[in-house]
Structure 1
């Protein structure tokens, strides 16, 4: 099962899952209104919380969409990694590694504590993998690259 054929599918799966995850988190922040997210940013001391409460969700939403499409993946990954690092070192680092902490059990089901930085590391590792491996064959980046390659010989003939 090892080979270029399967690597392309791996890149696609990484892009779809990570892209969707970022879009879901960005949309959640925007749909609830940036004011709530701004309050969190003020509590943790992020500079310019009003501007950041708009910029971060837009980076997550648009960056996630770009990943889904495989558009400028190497460039798109950088601000997404930065958002994960900021979240990890300002919030999740205080709660340890595990992203799932069962703190109790009720008749309705388990109660969970705040998430640790595990999920941040998973997202960062996935984004770095995409930077190293590229967006894969099923991406806008590959489509653009193939079009440029096809146009280059025509330009040389002229």
Structure 2
């Protein structure tokens, strides 16, 4: 029985050590892929706000000129996606992308219901929940944030 207990403790210790490096990396890679993909789609002229016409935005986005909307959303997704992937300023970009996702849920997805197939709010809601650990815990040990903390902040 002692062997099983010590083996279990050793396995859990190794998993805890690996988790400090890997767990947040998995979240970051998936979220970065999704937001970079969305940003690239917008950069190439596909508009998820107004269908085929890139100058038509739903309220309240139509209060700001379409060019400004395109610029802000596209570059927040592109820069935020790269930053999340690298683990740079993770909490700032997590908060920024949470706000962007909340706006997208209410402005674009909420009227379509919950179903992913109908462009509903299920998938953005999942992404929103995935950002919460990054916002509160940071990027993890495999990140630029961890290097900054190690070499510049904790001197």
Q: TM-score per shorter chain, which class?
A: 0.7 to 0.9
Q: Where in structure 1 are there 5+ consecutive unaligned residues?
A: 101-113, 153-158
C-alpha distance in structure 2 between counterparts of 1:75 and 1:37, whole Å:
32
Normalising to structure 1: TM-score of the pair?
Answer: 0.78
Is contact 2:90–2:139 with CA below 8 Å preserved after alignment? yes
Partners of 2:101 and 2:128 within 8 A in 1: yes
Report what 2:55 is aligned to: 39
2:37 match: 24
Structural RMSD (CA): 2.1
Corresponding position: 1:137 with 2:147:
no
Deviations 1:5-47 (A, max 9, x none): 2243110010011011101100110112679674342x44412
The answer for unaligned runs of 5 or more in structure 2 is 1-11
Q: Deviation at 1:128?
A: 1.1
CA contact (8 A) 1:29 1:37 kept: no
How many residue pairs align between the two structures?
137
Name the structure where strand makes up a greater proportion of residues.
1
User: Which of the numbers 117, 122, 128 marks the counterpart of 1:124?
Assistant: 128
Moved beyond 3 Å, runs of 4+: 33-38
- Give 2:83's aligned residue: 66
